[in-house]
Structure 1
Amino acid sequence: MYAIVEIAGQQFKVSKDQKVYVHRLDSEEGSNISFDKVLLLDDNGTITLGAPAVEGASVEAKVLKHLKGDKVIVFKKKRRKGYKKKNGHRQSFTQILIEGIVGVGAKKKAAKKEVEVEKTEATAEAKPKAEATEEVKPKAKATKKPKTEE
């Protein structure tokens, strides 16, 4: 079972007992947090797609630690002008452990899919009748005019 969840403005594909590095969260180390914005749920082949999020579904996680990423050096230079700028950046991350995925909304979405299938079958039956009444006109062929000598 996996889920696609939005955490701190980014989307992650997560499953149970997986460690994920996300942008810095305000939670304390060792605290449990829940993410309600689940965009997709997959339960052994049964896919539930949210619009935009699956209602009642959530991802439970535990904050392991806060840390910083590798240093990135930004160096700007313009040749022959004497312009040099050196700047560094270290992104703050939070390491979380996914403890479980709760998918309450899966049964509600399955019922809606059956209704949508019935609607598409009804429109598919109506389409061939409409196409049979229309006539298809052939396109006119382009003709080349012969060149005349002057």
Structure 2
Amino acid sequence: MYAIVEIAGHQFKVEKDQKVFVNRLSTEEGKKVSFDNVLLIGDGNNVTLGAPAIDGAQVSAKVLKHLKGDKVIVFKKKRRKGYRVKNGHRQSLTEIVIESIVASGAKKAAPKKETKKAEPKVEAKAAAPKAEKAAPKKAAPKKATGKADDLKKIEGIGPKIASTLVEAGIATFADLAKAKPEAISEIIAGVRGNHVTDTWPAQAKLAADGKWDELKKWQDELDGGKA
């Protein structure tokens, strides 16, 4: 029996007695932990799908140890500006061992029924009533035309982080200026690299106010977003 389960924001295909490295869990070493967001369970030729998760299914595991992954080198460079930053990052991980996969109460997805095409009905001709005026079509609602700011102008923000922030609803300098550094760190937790977000709201405030000269002078003193 195997299962596909979501653990700490990532999906894993696991089996009993399998050891898995996942993002750092808050559970202490030696303690048991369970995950109920099971997306799929396979047992031989029987496969049970969730919609999106399977009701009653659960994967139980035991925390073996907490550790750090291999070092990843992050190098940033800006052309013609003399800007080079080299950082090392080691991802915090947790090693767990799968103890059991429980599928009790799981509901199998019902097979889709084939729908027959309805035959057009032939209506008997009746006395032609007075033609009714066609109702005017309602105009489609206009979409918001607000444009996102180029968040990459903030020191320490690259294309990947910029797109991640936009997906989280932070699309303008004003939005970023209102956000707290802790909240920003949580949003970009999945982006590789050692990112320091302490100065990002303050930089965004200067950009939102149009104080570009003051922002550029400050950025020349920053090192990868760090003061």
Q: TM-score when scaled to structure 1? A: 0.73
> How far 1:88 sits from its partner (Å)?
1.4
Q: Which has the larger radius of gyration?
A: 1
- Give the whole-Å Cα distance in 2 for the aligned partners of 1:40 and 1:75: 39
> How far 1:78 sits from its partner (Å)?
3.2
- Structure 1 regions of 5+ residues with no counterpart? 134-150
1:54 is aligned to 54
- Identity percentage of aligned residues: 69
- The superposition leaves residues 101-136 of structure 1 with CA deviations (integer Å, 9 ceiling, x where unpaired) of 001134x42xx62xx45xx15x2xx33x739x9xxx
- The superposition leaves residues 76-115 of structure 1 with CA deviations (integer Å, 9 ceiling, x where unpaired) of 2235532211111110000000011001134x42xx62xx
SS in 2 for 1:73: strand
2:159 is aligned to none
2:184 is aligned to none
Instruction: Tell whether 2:34 aligns with 1:34.
Output: yes
What is the identity, as a one-letter code, of the residue corresponding to 1:36? D
- Give the whole-Å Cα distance in 1 for the aligned partners of 2:93 and 2:6: 15
**Higher mean C-alpha deviation, range 93-102 or range 68-77:** 68-77
Query: Highest relative contact order (Cα 8 Å, sep 6+), 1 or 2?
Result: 1
SS in 2 for 1:130: coil
What is the identity, as a one-letter code, of the residue corresponding to 2:60? E
More strand by proportion, 1 or 2? Answer: 1
Kindly report structure 1 stretches of 4+ aligned residues shifted beyond 4 Å: none
1:45 is aligned to 45
Matches within 5 A, 1:84-99: 84-99=84-99
Matches within 5 A, 1:59-138: 59-106=59-106, 108-109=107-108, 113=110, 116=111, 120-121=113-114, 123=115, 126-127=116-117, 130=119
Aligned length: 121
2:127 is aligned to none
- Give the whole-Å Cα distance in 2 for the aligned partners of 1:34 and 1:88: 33
Q: TM-score when scaled to structure 2? A: 0.49
- Structure 2 regions of 5+ residues with no counterpart? 123-227
